[in-house]
Amino acid sequence: MARPLPPSEENAGVSVELSAVSFNSVSTRIIACVFAATVLSTAIVSALCIHAIHLDLAGRIVASFSEIANARVEAWNARRAELAALVAAESAVGSPWQAELGRARADVDARTALGWRAPDAPEASGLSLDKLLAGELPEPPAAIAERFDVLFFGHPDALAASADGCISIEADVPAESGGTLGRLLGCVARTELDALLQPGQAAPSSSRVLVANLHGTVLAASGPGAPTRLADTIPVPDLIRRGGMELSDYSDAAGRALVGLAVPLGRTGWFLAVEIEHARAFARAIDVTRTIFIAAVVVVILFSLIAYKITAAIMQPIHALSSGAQRILDGQIDHQIPLPAIHDDELGLLTRTFNAMMQKLRSNQIEIERDRLRLAEKNEELQSANEVLNQLSITDGLTKLHNHRYFQDHLTREIKRVSRTNAPLSLILVDIDDFKQLNDSYGHAAGDEVLISLAAIMNENARESDLIARYGGEEFVILMPNTDLAGAVHLAEKIRMAVEATRLIIGDRMKPTDVTISLGVALYKGNRREFFAEADRALYRAKGAGKNCVIIAGSDDAPALS
């Protein structure tokens, strides 16, 4: 019997157990539940706070961006009207430039456009003049030249391809005789656009204002990083959803996350968008989220530690009891569970009861082991007896061949097999000639010797796959799987000749005795009853043909072999 541990050793053991508690323990599940409840409640509250802050900040950004976009659209409409009026005035009938336009227009085909580019105009303004134009446009007046980067003049159909290439102003040039000389299309100068696209002091820092066509290609940009956005694309359908009252998330060509919104730029077919990097737009929300996350982690850790301390104090005696029970389960039945420090409560009573049960279990185990050994010996004896009985139930006691019962069972299995495989199956019925006379002359003991000798001769001549059984009295049967009629006749004649050549010394006589057999052979043709009946009729004909011969079922009475 193990000695009880002193209090110090008990506490040490409990501490070790507490440090290796699995999730299946009650204490771990209590702590896990407290931890999960704390995490869940903290996560829900934090998520709600973060979501509210995010929505509030997004609303502020939407309001600011909408104000910027509307102000820029109004400014553009005013500037567009001003530029259109300027172009109309400078190209009015009677103006010097109108006359130059008329002369230049007369020198080219009506379907061809003329073009002009300011010397300092960016290459990105409008389309390439070399690919579109056949001639140069007369130098425009200074008031127009300083406010446009590129000018096109020609038939409206010839200018259709350039309408989407820049932010343009269109005006028809009148002819002196009435009608129009053609249409002027001017790409607004970058300096004009930059002045119009400035976000203003009320806009969030690092925000940009863009102008894009219907396909989302950025034609002009103002603000931090504006040059990198030119010729880039923005998702215009996403940016204009809900009338520009909701932010959209997207990325630029460099993969930076952006948020923005867009509004149509009047009836021009262009769109004015305001955007900002997501990290800068929601920097305050990210800072608040980080603070909430840190506070949530601290709360979770604090509550988990408190739950652990409380649970550990409650579960120490239970862990000591479960540890002792596990040792007993592992086979240490001599182990005594130490009593808890406070052993006058229910746990102390449970521990004492458990130790008393183990003492009784140890005394019973010895007796159980003895009974088990005795039962194992009896089971072995019974198994051996069953094997002997099973063998005796299918064996003829005299000849040690299989008996009639086993033959019938085996025949059933073989018929099922040949029904599936169509393999041949043959049967030989053997009967000792004049066996009753032999018994009457020499006694039944001599007859038994003849039966034993005949069984030995058949075993020597048959194959291992052939089944030899004593059918009854002096009759035997040989079942030959995978053997056709010729093979069966050959084996029957072989056995007949072996028996005929054997001279037996039986009984008290020293004089050799000749013994012969008659055999009937049949081939299975699909009918079990007819199979055996044919062999039996063949055997009967062999007896009538003079005995000591082999007759094939269905043949005449002549012996199978000469």
Average pLDDT, the chain: 79
Secondary structure letter of residue 161 according to DSSP: G
pLDDT of 438 above 90: no
pLDDT of residue 9: 43
Written as six digits, the tokens of 505 are 């010394």
pLDDT of 273 above 60: yes
Collect all residues with Cβ–Cβ distance below 8 Å to 517 and sequence separation of at least 6. 430, 431, 432, 433, 454, 495, 496, 499, 548
Specify the residue for token string 């998702």.
Answer: 235
CB neighbours of residue 203 within 10 Å: 20
Instruction: Give the strand pairing for 517-523 and 550-552.
Output: parallel
Tell me which of 288 and 544 has the higher pLDDT.
544
Written as six digits, the tokens of 431 are 């009967």
- CA nearest neighbour of 458 among 430, 485, 482, 418: 430
Q: Which has the minimum average pLDDT: 11-15, 33-37, 133-137, 431-435?
A: 11-15
Secondary structure (DSSP) of 351-408:
HHHHHHHHHHHHHHHHHHHHHHHHHHHHHHHHHHHHHHHHHHHTB-TTT-SB-HHHHH
Task: Give 29-43 pLDDT, tens digit per residue.
Answer: 777 777 788 788 888
Secondary structure letter of residue 110 according to DSSP: T
pLDDT of residue 18: 42
Query: Binning pLDDT at 50, 70 and 90, where does residue 562 land?
Result: very low
- Percentages helix, strand, coil for the chain (3-state, rounded to 5) are 55, 20, 30
Which of 129-138, 153-162, 372-381, 383-392: highest mean pLDDT? 372-381
- Domain locations in the chain as residue ranges: 56-283, 404-552
CA 336, CA 5: separation in Å to the nearest integer?
Answer: 9
pLDDT of 316 above 80: no
Specify the residue for token string 């925000």.
Answer: 207
CB neighbours of residue 179 within 10 Å: 8
Task: Provide the CATH number for the domain formed by 404-552 in this structure.
Answer: 3.30.70.270
CA 84, CA 79: separation in Å to the nearest integer?
Answer: 8
